[in-house]
Amino acid sequence: MFRRVPGFVAAVALTAACQTSAPPAAPPAAATAPPVFPAGRLVDLSHTYDRSTVFWPTADTFRLETVADGVTPGGYYYAANNFFSSEHGGTHLDAPVHFAQGAQSVEQIPLDRLVGAAYVVDVTDRATANADHQVTVEDLARTEAAQGPIPRDAIVLLRTGFSTRWPDAARYLGTALRGEPGARALHFPGLHPDAAAWLVANRTIKAIGIDTASIDFGQSTAFESHRTLYAKNIPAFENLTGLEALPLTGAWIVALPMKIGGGSGAPLRAMAIVP
Ligand SMILES: [Zn+2]
């Protein structure tokens, strides 16, 4: 018995069409703007990775090793490098597994968590006055009173103004020392553990970011905010820049890390779209 196979018939028709008509000279113009991606000004929220990139005092720093840079025997120019980096340096993502056993590693974080509406908490004044400032529940309450509650599924960005100190480690981290002495001498702002606990209990956020080296402040030794957030699979973006160019609400964030399988963190290219 002969049965018609629609796909087969369509393929034959398509082959015939290809033989008789040339492709159009230019693709047709889109009738409407793309429906999902908002139009707006793009703001780069990532620092460049190079030899000046600030890393945690105990972490291996970034290295770029030249493989090729010149004209080949074939007469064309060719450049290639190897790069080496620890996960947690420069602008990077902390995967939840960084401080929560069994939580998501980098490649397991759903893309949907890394794209969302920005909600900026500006503590620049307090952080400028005190490098050890921890964003408090009161800071969050004051911000919500001024600009409305943190919406469901927001990406919360803590703006301390410290990115303007990059890449001067002495000013950005509070110390230029390396190794354990450096780790003990860190002074930069972060999120208070009580505020982290309040956020996970009272608001539903996709992710959180900060323009300092860590979501816990520099003098933290227990890393409680990391542990509280990551236990709920809320990742963090650290060493962000450009937050001063964002409105307090209304921007969109796209923060895509290198997809390292099993990674506890990864270099991050983050940007904002400001409609
Ligand atoms: Zn990290």
- For residue range 125-179, list pLDDT tens digits in order: 999 999 999 999 999 999 999 999 999 999 999 999 999 999 999 999 999 999 9
- Please, is 232 exposed, middle or buried when counting C-beta atoms within 10 Å of its C-beta (0-12, 13-18, 19+)? middle
Q: How far apart (Å, rounded) are the C-alpha atoms in residues 136 and 142?
A: 10
Task: Quote the ligand 1 centre to 88 CA distance (angstroms).
Answer: 4
Domains of the chain, start order: 41-53+87-274 (3.50.30.50)
> 4 C-alpha to center of ligand 1: Å?
58
- Taking the centre of ligand 1 as the mean of its atom positions, its distance from the CA of residue 239, in whole angstroms, is 9
Cα-to-centroid distance, 152 and ligand 1 (Å): 25
Note residues around ion ligand 1 (Cβ under 5 angstroms): 88, 94, 238, 265
Distance, CA 246 to ligand 1 centroid (Å)?
23
pLDDT band at 15 (very low <50, low <70, confident <90, very high): very low
Annotate 151-183 with DSSP letters as a single string: PTTEEEEEE-SGGGGTT-HHHHTS----HHHHH
Decide if pLDDT at 1 tops 80: no
pTM comes to: 0.87
Tens digit of pLDDT for each residue in 19-37?
A: 456 666 766 665 665 555 7
Q: DSSP of 50-112, one letter per residue? A: STT--B-TTS---EEEEEEEEE-TTSSEEEEEEEE--SSBSSEEEPGGGTSTTS--GGGS-GG
Sequence-ordered list of residues with C-beta below 8 angstroms from that of 265, at least 6 positions apart, any chain = 87, 88, 92, 93, 94, 95, 98, 106, 257
